[in-house]
Amino acid sequence: MKEVLLVTGSSGIAAATARLWAAENPVFVVGLNEQECRSLATGLREASVAVADVSDEPAVRNAVAACLDRFGRIDALFNVAGISARSAGDGPLHECKSAAWDLAMDVNAKGTFLMCREVLGVWRKCAQAGAILNCGSVLARHPQRDHFATVGYAASKGAIEAMSMAAAAYYAPDGIRINVIAPGLVRTPMSARAQANPKITEYMTHKQPLTKGLLSAEDVAKTACFLLRSDSGPITGQIVTVDGGWAVSE
């Protein structure tokens, strides 16, 4: 039986995962940029979209309902949609703007919470098993002072980790698996600032030695698809770091 994936986000890791998943299974894309969502879905064999802000509770509810209307079920959820909040004033703790902290928490942590809650409600009602993968970050547990001192972003990803671990323990008896994927620095639209900085790109050649620089979105998508598929059934409550060696390098 085909497995339906609901993925939030329409670029970067989300897009790469949607493309990989859609080679064999249906995909439902939830994103804020309608043109980007539809462009992504057009290139996929069996896909549909909903335009929604993941931090908007009614919009999340409608998006999940739209996925069920289109495909009749949801087997896996991948929460990727998020922001860096640097442009809003995120940075070292003593400089971090309250607005940046609130924005990071609202989109990254609350958005993930709302999507998880809505899909879990569907699964519990139907006594259905399923898999959730939430997107964390290597920065939640392996900070870097010189180039990536964004405390609001790191905290929002740490919140996602804690929520996911607590939920994994609670829902395991129901056959519902919840894991976190924690990428290093990936070549996506969100990392444009880092990609444009020669000092950072040079630094990344030894910070992420396995890829000799930034990871590709496809590097992360391959692991994501594995964790989302039913054949990874014994795995839950894990934080899987895909970082090119970031965590073990200076």
State the average pLDDT over residues 133-152. 97
pTM comes to 0.97
42 CB-contact burial (10 Å; exposed 0-12 / middle 13-18 / buried 19+): exposed
Q: Sign of the CA dihedral 185, 191, 196, 200?
A: negative
Q: How far is CA 36 from CA 25, 33, 173, 200, in A?
A: 20, 5, 38, 28
Q: Is the pLDDT of residue 106 over 90?
A: yes
Instruction: Kindly report, residue by residue over 119-141, the tens digit of the pLDDT.
Output: 999 999 999 999 999 999 999 99
- Which one of the listed residues 153, 170, 171, 203 is annotated catalytic? 153
Q: How confident is the model at residue 81 (pLDDT cuts 50, 70, 90)?
A: very high
Q: Is the pLDDT of residue 22 over 90?
A: yes
| Sequence spans of domains, the chain | 5-185+216-242
State the average pLDDT over residues 36-46. 95
State the average pLDDT over residues 61-79. 98
SS3 145: coil
pLDDT of residue 225: 98
Question: In DSSP terms, which residues pair with 48 in a beta bridge?
Answer: 28
What's the whole-number average pLDDT of the chain? Answer: 97
pLDDT of residue 1: 82
Q: Is the pLDDT of residue 90 over 90?
A: yes
pLDDT of residue 204: 97
203 tagged catalytic: no
State the average pLDDT over residues 135-160. 97
Query: Up-side HSE of residue 202: CA atoms within 13 Å toward CB?
Result: 3
SS3 180: strand
Instruction: Kindly report, residue by residue over 197-220, the tens digit of the pLDDT.
Output: 999 999 999 999 999 999 999 999
d(CA 81, CA 8): 5
d(CA 86, CA 122): 35
Q: How confident is the model at residue 109 (pLDDT cuts 50, 70, 90)?
A: very high
CB atoms within 10 A of CB 56: 16
Query: 5-185+216-242 adopts what CATH topology?
Result: Rossmann fold (3.40.50)
Instruction: Kindly report, residue by residue over 220-249, the tens digit of the pLDDT.
Output: 999 999 999 999 989 999 999 999 999 999
